[in-house]
Amino acid sequence: MKVKIGMVSFAHMHAYSYARAIGKISEVDLAGIYDDNPYRGTQAARMFGTTYFEDYEDLLDQRLDGVIICSENALHREHVRIASEHKVHILCEKPIATSLEDAQFMIEVCQKNKVKLQTAFPMRYSPPVRFLKEYLDRGSLGKVVAASCTNHGTVPPGWFQKKELSGGGAIMDHTVHVVDLLRWMLKTEVKKVYAHASTLIQPLEVEDCALLSLTLGNGVIASLDCSWSRPKNFPFWGDVTMRIYGTKGVIDMDAFKQGIASYNDERIKSIWHYWGQDPDLEMIKDFISCIKENRPVSITGEDGRKALAVALSAYRSLEKGDTVYVDYG
Protein backbone atom coordinates (compact mmCIF):
# COMPACT_ATOMS: atom_id res chain seq x y z
CA MET A 1 0.00 0.00 0.00
CA LYS A 2 1.28 3.45 -0.93
CA VAL A 3 1.99 6.15 1.62
CA LYS A 4 -0.45 9.02 0.99
CA ILE A 5 1.05 12.50 1.29
CA GLY A 6 -0.66 15.86 0.95
CA MET A 7 0.97 19.21 0.17
CA VAL A 8 -0.14 22.23 2.18
CA SER A 9 0.47 25.40 0.15
CA PHE A 10 2.92 26.24 -2.61
CA ALA A 11 3.68 29.65 -1.11
CA HIS A 12 7.28 28.57 -0.49
CA MET A 13 9.28 27.72 -3.62
CA HIS A 14 10.68 24.61 -1.94
CA ALA A 15 7.22 23.03 -2.32
CA TYR A 16 7.89 22.45 -6.02
CA SER A 17 11.09 20.56 -5.29
CA TYR A 18 9.37 18.47 -2.61
CA ALA A 19 6.49 17.61 -4.94
CA ARG A 20 8.93 16.56 -7.66
CA ALA A 21 10.69 14.39 -5.08
CA ILE A 22 7.41 12.67 -4.17
CA GLY A 23 6.94 11.82 -7.84
CA LYS A 24 10.26 9.97 -7.84
CA ILE A 25 9.33 7.63 -4.96
CA SER A 26 7.29 4.68 -6.21
CA GLU A 27 5.67 3.83 -2.88
CA VAL A 28 4.32 7.36 -2.32
CA ASP A 29 1.14 8.93 -3.69
CA LEU A 30 0.68 12.70 -3.82
CA ALA A 31 -2.95 12.57 -2.72
CA GLY A 32 -3.74 16.25 -3.10
CA ILE A 33 -2.80 19.89 -2.65
CA TYR A 34 -4.38 22.56 -0.48
CA ASP A 35 -3.52 26.21 -1.08
CA ASP A 36 -5.34 29.35 0.05
CA ASN A 37 -4.40 30.84 -3.34
CA PRO A 38 -6.74 29.01 -5.76
CA TYR A 39 -4.77 29.91 -8.89
CA ARG A 40 -1.45 28.79 -7.42
CA GLY A 41 -2.98 25.63 -5.99
CA THR A 42 -4.78 24.72 -9.20
CA GLN A 43 -1.65 25.26 -11.28
CA ALA A 44 0.43 23.13 -8.90
CA ALA A 45 -2.15 20.33 -8.93
CA ARG A 46 -2.13 20.35 -12.72
CA MET A 47 1.67 20.37 -12.79
CA PHE A 48 1.97 17.36 -10.48
CA GLY A 49 -1.06 15.40 -11.64
CA THR A 50 -3.13 15.51 -8.48
CA THR A 51 -6.25 17.14 -7.00
CA TYR A 52 -6.57 20.68 -5.72
CA PHE A 53 -8.62 21.15 -2.54
CA GLU A 54 -10.08 24.54 -1.71
CA ASP A 55 -10.61 23.47 1.90
CA TYR A 56 -7.74 22.27 4.08
CA GLU A 57 -9.98 19.92 6.06
CA ASP A 58 -11.13 18.24 2.83
CA LEU A 59 -7.52 17.40 1.97
CA LEU A 60 -6.90 16.02 5.45
CA ASP A 61 -10.03 13.84 5.14
CA GLN A 62 -8.34 11.84 2.34
CA ARG A 63 -6.91 9.41 4.93
CA LEU A 64 -3.46 10.90 4.57
CA ASP A 65 -0.37 9.46 6.23
CA GLY A 66 1.50 12.76 6.18
CA VAL A 67 1.56 16.35 4.96
CA ILE A 68 4.34 18.65 3.85
CA ILE A 69 3.63 22.22 4.95
CA CYS A 70 5.12 24.97 2.78
CA SER A 71 2.86 27.89 3.66
CA GLU A 72 4.01 31.33 4.78
CA ASN A 73 6.09 31.09 7.96
CA ALA A 74 3.48 32.79 10.15
CA LEU A 75 0.82 30.24 9.08
CA HIS A 76 2.82 27.14 10.09
CA ARG A 77 1.38 27.07 13.60
CA GLU A 78 -2.26 26.81 12.47
CA HIS A 79 -1.57 24.39 9.63
CA VAL A 80 0.39 22.11 11.98
CA ARG A 81 -2.34 22.26 14.62
CA ILE A 82 -5.07 21.22 12.21
CA ALA A 83 -3.00 18.41 10.68
CA SER A 84 -2.05 17.06 14.10
CA GLU A 85 -5.68 16.99 15.20
CA HIS A 86 -6.39 14.83 12.13
CA LYS A 87 -3.61 12.44 13.30
CA VAL A 88 -1.50 13.19 10.19
CA HIS A 89 2.31 13.23 10.42
CA ILE A 90 4.01 16.51 9.46
CA LEU A 91 7.09 17.73 7.62
CA CYS A 92 7.20 21.51 8.14
CA GLU A 93 9.24 23.93 6.07
CA LYS A 94 11.86 26.04 7.84
CA PRO A 95 11.88 28.27 9.78
CA ILE A 96 9.50 26.23 11.88
CA ALA A 97 7.62 29.37 12.99
CA THR A 98 8.10 33.10 13.55
CA SER A 99 8.14 32.96 17.36
CA LEU A 100 9.38 30.55 20.01
CA GLU A 101 5.88 30.45 21.49
CA ASP A 102 4.41 29.23 18.20
CA ALA A 103 7.20 26.69 17.74
CA GLN A 104 6.68 25.30 21.24
CA PHE A 105 2.93 25.10 20.68
CA MET A 106 3.51 23.12 17.47
CA ILE A 107 5.80 20.67 19.26
CA GLU A 108 3.37 20.18 22.13
CA VAL A 109 0.24 19.78 19.99
CA CYS A 110 1.99 17.11 17.91
CA GLN A 111 3.08 15.30 21.07
CA LYS A 112 -0.45 15.50 22.43
CA ASN A 113 -1.93 14.03 19.25
CA LYS A 114 0.87 11.45 18.88
CA VAL A 115 1.98 12.55 15.42
CA LYS A 116 5.50 13.06 14.08
CA LEU A 117 6.81 16.60 13.49
CA GLN A 118 9.91 16.94 11.34
CA THR A 119 11.59 20.23 10.45
CA ALA A 120 12.64 20.57 6.81
CA PHE A 121 16.41 20.92 7.01
CA PRO A 122 17.43 19.13 3.78
CA MET A 123 21.07 20.18 4.00
CA ARG A 124 21.66 17.42 6.56
CA TYR A 125 21.11 15.00 3.65
CA SER A 126 23.68 16.63 1.33
CA PRO A 127 26.61 14.25 0.59
CA PRO A 128 29.29 16.95 1.09
CA VAL A 129 27.67 17.93 4.40
CA ARG A 130 27.51 14.32 5.54
CA PHE A 131 31.16 13.78 4.59
CA LEU A 132 32.14 16.84 6.62
CA LYS A 133 30.21 15.59 9.66
CA GLU A 134 31.84 12.14 9.42
CA TYR A 135 35.25 13.80 9.05
CA LEU A 136 34.67 15.84 12.20
CA ASP A 137 33.24 12.85 14.09
CA ARG A 138 36.45 10.92 13.39
CA GLY A 139 38.48 13.72 14.93
CA SER A 140 40.44 14.13 11.70
CA LEU A 141 40.50 17.92 12.09
CA GLY A 142 41.49 17.82 15.74
CA LYS A 143 39.72 20.22 18.07
CA VAL A 144 37.46 22.58 16.11
CA VAL A 145 38.16 26.21 17.00
CA ALA A 146 36.32 28.30 14.38
CA ALA A 147 34.00 28.21 11.37
CA SER A 148 33.27 30.61 8.51
CA CYS A 149 29.93 29.95 6.81
CA THR A 150 27.68 31.36 4.08
CA ASN A 151 24.12 30.83 2.95
CA HIS A 152 23.53 33.34 0.16
CA GLY A 153 20.51 33.68 -2.09
CA THR A 154 18.56 36.06 -4.30
CA VAL A 155 15.89 38.36 -2.88
CA PRO A 156 12.73 36.18 -2.82
CA PRO A 157 9.44 37.70 -3.97
CA GLY A 158 6.08 38.35 -2.38
CA TRP A 159 5.36 37.37 1.20
CA PHE A 160 9.05 36.82 2.06
CA GLN A 161 9.35 40.61 2.05
CA LYS A 162 6.41 41.11 4.46
CA LYS A 163 7.49 40.83 8.07
CA GLU A 164 4.06 39.85 9.39
CA LEU A 165 4.13 36.71 7.21
CA SER A 166 7.84 35.89 7.07
CA GLY A 167 8.99 37.04 10.51
CA GLY A 168 11.98 38.81 8.97
CA GLY A 169 14.29 38.92 5.99
CA ALA A 170 17.58 37.21 5.20
CA ILE A 171 18.32 36.45 8.87
CA MET A 172 15.03 34.61 9.36
CA ASP A 173 15.25 32.88 5.99
CA HIS A 174 18.86 31.72 5.95
CA THR A 175 20.27 31.63 9.49
CA VAL A 176 18.40 28.48 10.49
CA HIS A 177 19.99 26.21 7.84
CA VAL A 178 23.59 26.81 8.91
CA VAL A 179 22.81 27.01 12.62
CA ASP A 180 21.19 23.60 12.36
CA LEU A 181 24.32 22.21 10.68
CA LEU A 182 26.62 23.73 13.32
CA ARG A 183 24.50 22.30 16.17
CA TRP A 184 24.36 18.87 14.49
CA MET A 185 28.02 18.65 13.53
CA LEU A 186 29.58 20.13 16.65
CA LYS A 187 27.07 18.72 19.15
CA THR A 188 26.63 21.99 21.00
CA GLU A 189 24.32 25.00 21.12
CA VAL A 190 24.91 28.56 20.01
CA LYS A 191 25.50 30.57 23.17
CA LYS A 192 25.88 34.17 21.97
CA VAL A 193 25.20 36.11 18.77
CA TYR A 194 26.20 39.51 17.43
CA ALA A 195 24.46 40.72 14.26
CA HIS A 196 25.01 43.35 11.60
CA ALA A 197 22.21 43.78 9.05
CA SER A 198 20.83 46.29 6.58
CA THR A 199 18.67 46.67 3.49
CA LEU A 200 21.12 47.29 0.66
CA ILE A 201 19.99 45.39 -2.45
CA GLN A 202 16.34 46.41 -2.85
CA PRO A 203 13.96 48.80 -1.04
CA LEU A 204 12.39 46.26 1.33
CA GLU A 205 10.76 46.39 4.77
CA VAL A 206 13.07 43.56 5.88
CA GLU A 207 16.85 43.13 5.81
CA ASP A 208 18.47 41.66 2.70
CA CYS A 209 22.08 41.64 3.95
CA ALA A 210 23.37 40.33 7.27
CA LEU A 211 26.51 39.05 8.93
CA LEU A 212 26.35 37.15 12.22
CA SER A 213 29.10 36.33 14.70
CA LEU A 214 28.27 33.29 16.81
CA THR A 215 29.86 31.89 19.96
CA LEU A 216 29.06 28.23 20.56
CA GLY A 217 28.84 26.51 23.91
CA ASN A 218 32.11 24.64 23.34
CA GLY A 219 33.98 27.88 22.62
CA VAL A 220 33.94 27.66 18.82
CA ILE A 221 33.64 31.05 17.10
CA ALA A 222 31.63 31.10 13.86
CA SER A 223 30.65 33.70 11.29
CA LEU A 224 27.65 33.48 8.96
CA ASP A 225 26.86 35.60 5.92
CA CYS A 226 23.18 34.89 5.35
CA SER A 227 22.51 37.66 2.82
CA TRP A 228 20.11 37.73 -0.11
CA SER A 229 23.01 39.11 -2.14
CA ARG A 230 22.82 37.07 -5.35
CA PRO A 231 21.71 39.04 -8.44
CA LYS A 232 18.75 37.68 -10.42
CA ASN A 233 20.97 36.53 -13.28
CA PHE A 234 23.38 34.62 -11.04
CA PRO A 235 23.83 31.04 -12.39
CA PHE A 236 22.28 29.38 -9.33
CA TRP A 237 19.93 30.23 -6.51
CA GLY A 238 22.30 30.26 -3.56
CA ASP A 239 24.88 28.35 -1.59
CA VAL A 240 25.78 26.66 1.66
CA THR A 241 29.50 26.76 2.38
CA MET A 242 31.51 26.07 5.52
CA ARG A 243 35.21 26.48 6.27
CA ILE A 244 36.05 24.67 9.51
CA TYR A 245 39.28 25.44 11.35
CA GLY A 246 40.75 22.78 13.61
CA THR A 247 43.98 22.21 15.49
CA LYS A 248 45.04 19.70 12.81
CA GLY A 249 44.05 21.67 9.71
CA VAL A 250 41.33 23.42 7.75
CA ILE A 251 38.56 21.90 5.61
CA ASP A 252 36.27 23.60 3.07
CA MET A 253 32.78 22.33 2.21
CA ASP A 254 30.58 23.61 -0.65
CA ALA A 255 27.24 21.81 -0.67
CA PHE A 256 26.31 22.91 -4.20
CA LYS A 257 29.60 22.63 -6.03
CA GLN A 258 28.30 19.77 -8.18
CA GLY A 259 26.95 21.90 -10.99
CA ILE A 260 27.79 23.35 -14.39
CA ALA A 261 27.22 26.99 -15.31
CA SER A 262 26.46 27.46 -19.02
CA TYR A 263 26.20 30.71 -20.96
CA ASN A 264 23.77 31.13 -23.84
CA ASP A 265 23.64 34.23 -26.07
CA GLU A 266 20.06 33.46 -27.12
CA ARG A 267 18.77 33.50 -23.55
CA ILE A 268 21.11 36.37 -22.57
CA LYS A 269 21.84 34.80 -19.23
CA SER A 270 23.82 32.07 -17.55
CA ILE A 271 22.13 28.83 -16.49
CA TRP A 272 23.13 26.46 -13.73
CA HIS A 273 22.76 22.70 -14.22
CA TYR A 274 22.98 20.75 -10.96
CA TRP A 275 24.05 17.11 -11.30
CA GLY A 276 24.71 16.11 -7.69
CA GLN A 277 22.53 14.10 -5.32
CA ASP A 278 19.25 15.80 -4.39
CA PRO A 279 19.07 16.57 -0.62
CA ASP A 280 15.35 17.36 -0.89
CA LEU A 281 14.65 13.90 -2.31
CA GLU A 282 16.70 12.23 0.42
CA MET A 283 14.86 14.21 3.11
CA ILE A 284 11.45 13.22 1.72
CA LYS A 285 12.57 9.57 1.53
CA ASP A 286 13.62 9.71 5.17
CA PHE A 287 10.32 11.29 6.24
CA ILE A 288 8.40 8.56 4.39
CA SER A 289 10.60 5.92 6.01
CA CYS A 290 9.86 7.33 9.47
CA ILE A 291 6.13 6.99 8.76
CA LYS A 292 6.37 3.45 7.35
CA GLU A 293 8.68 2.17 10.09
CA ASN A 294 6.97 4.17 12.85
CA ARG A 295 10.30 5.49 14.09
CA PRO A 296 11.24 8.94 15.41
CA VAL A 297 12.01 11.63 12.84
CA SER A 298 15.65 12.46 12.15
CA ILE A 299 15.25 16.24 12.52
CA THR A 300 12.80 17.20 15.22
CA GLY A 301 10.55 20.15 15.91
CA GLU A 302 12.92 20.97 18.76
CA ASP A 303 15.79 21.20 16.25
CA GLY A 304 13.69 23.71 14.35
CA ARG A 305 12.86 25.66 17.52
CA LYS A 306 16.49 25.95 18.60
CA ALA A 307 17.63 27.15 15.17
CA LEU A 308 14.80 29.70 15.23
CA ALA A 309 15.94 30.91 18.66
CA VAL A 310 19.31 31.91 17.21
CA ALA A 311 17.67 33.87 14.37
CA LEU A 312 15.35 35.69 16.80
CA SER A 313 18.29 36.47 19.08
CA ALA A 314 20.11 37.98 16.11
CA TYR A 315 17.24 40.45 15.78
CA ARG A 316 17.57 41.29 19.48
CA SER A 317 21.27 41.93 18.90
CA LEU A 318 20.39 44.36 16.11
CA GLU A 319 18.02 46.22 18.41
CA LYS A 320 20.61 46.47 21.21
CA GLY A 321 23.62 47.03 18.96
CA ASP A 322 25.52 44.51 21.07
CA THR A 323 26.19 40.82 21.65
CA VAL A 324 23.29 38.95 23.27
CA TYR A 325 22.90 35.54 24.85
CA VAL A 326 20.62 33.30 22.81
CA ASP A 327 17.18 33.04 24.41
CA TYR A 328 15.95 29.47 24.01
CA GLY A 329 12.74 30.17 25.90
CATH number at residue 190: 3.30.360.10
Q: What are the CA-CA distances from residue 25 to residues 46, 186, 281, 285 (Å)?
A: 19, 32, 9, 8
Check residue 252 and give its pLDDT.
97
* C-beta separation of 197 from 207 below 8 A: yes
CATH number, position 16:
3.40.50.720
Do 198 and 320 have their domain in common? yes
Residues of the chain with pLDDT under 70: 237, 264-269, 272, 274
Do 182 and 136 have their domain in common? yes
Do 128 and 185 have their domain in common? yes
Q: What one-character DSSP code corresponds to residue 256?
A: T
Residue 171 phi/psi, 5-degree rounding, is -65, -50
Check residue 291 and give its pLDDT.
97
172 vs 153: CA distance, rounded Å: 13
Do 94 and 213 have their domain in common? no
Do 169 and 88 have their domain in common? no
CB atoms within 10 A of CB 43: 15
Count of domains for the chain: 2
Check residue 268 and give its pLDDT.
62
Do 230 and 295 have their domain in common? no
Q: Are strands 241-246 and 221-225 parallel, antiparallel or unpaired?
A: unpaired
Do 159 and 79 have their domain in common? no
* CA neighbor of 170 nearest in space, from 152, 143, 158: 152
Do 146 and 15 have their domain in common? no
Do 191 and 88 have their domain in common? no
Predicted confidence (pLDDT) per residue in 116-174, tens digit? 999 999 999 999 999 999 999 999 999 999 999 999 999 999 999 999 999 999 999 99
Task: Count the alpha carbons within 13 Å of 200 in the hemisphere toward its beta carbon.
Answer: 12
Q: Which residues span the domain enclosing 173?
A: 124-277+308-325
269 vs 218: CA distance, rounded Å: 45
Predicted confidence (pLDDT) per residue in 195-209, tens digit? 999 999 999 999 999
Do 176 and 316 have their domain in common? yes
Helix ranges restricted to H, the chain: 14-23, 38-48, 56-60, 76-85, 100-112, 127-137, 163-166, 170-186, 279-293, 301-320
Do 139 and 264 have their domain in common? yes
- The pTM of this model reads 0.94
Do 43 and 106 have their domain in common? yes
Check residue 237 and give its pLDDT.
67
